[in-house]
Amino acid sequence: MSIQQILDRHPDLWRGRVAPEQVPAGVPTGCAALDRELVWGGWPPGSLSELLSARMGDGLGLVLPTLARLSTEPRWLLLVDPPWLPFAPALAAHGLVLEQVVVINAGTRSTWAAEQGLGSGACAAVLLWGGGPWNPTRLRRLQLAAETGGALAFLFRDPAACGGPSPAPLRLQVERIADGRRVTVLKQRGGRGGVVLTLSNESSIS
* Residue 103, strand partner residues: 79
CA distance 109 to 105: 9
pLDDT at 16 (0 to 100): 52
CA 78 to each of CA 134, 137, 147: distance values in angstroms, whole numbers, following the listed order: 20, 22, 16
Predicted confidence at residue 102, as pLDDT, reads 97
pLDDT for the residue 152: 98
Q: 198 lies in a domain?
A: no
pLDDT exceeding 70 applies to what percent of the chain? Answer: 87
Choose among 184, 158, 186, 157: nearest CA to 170.
Answer: 186
| Any domain includes 130 | yes
DSSP of 19-74: -GGGSPP-B--S-HHHHHHSTTSSBPTTSEEEEE-SSHHHHHHHHHHHHHHHTTSS
DSSP 67-120: HHHHTTSSSEEEEES-SS---HHHHHHTT--GGGEEEE--GGGHHHHHHHHHHH
Give me the CATH number covering residue 158. 3.40.50.300
Domain holding 115, by residue range, is 42-170
pLDDT computed for residue 130 by the predictor:
79
In a domain, 72, yes or no: yes
Angle CA 156–128–85, to nearest 5: 95
Residues of the chain with pLDDT under 70: 1-21, 201-206
* One-letter amino acid of 77: L
Q: How many domains does the chain have?
A: 1
**Which pLDDT score, from 0 to 100, does residue 38 have?**
96
Q: What is the pLDDT of residue 121?
A: 96
55 is a domain residue? yes
d(CA 8, CA 196): 33
pLDDT of residue 22: 74
pLDDT at 9: 52
pTM for the predicted model, two decimal places: 0.86
Residue 27 counted as domain residue: no
> Residue 196 falls within a domain, yes or no?
no
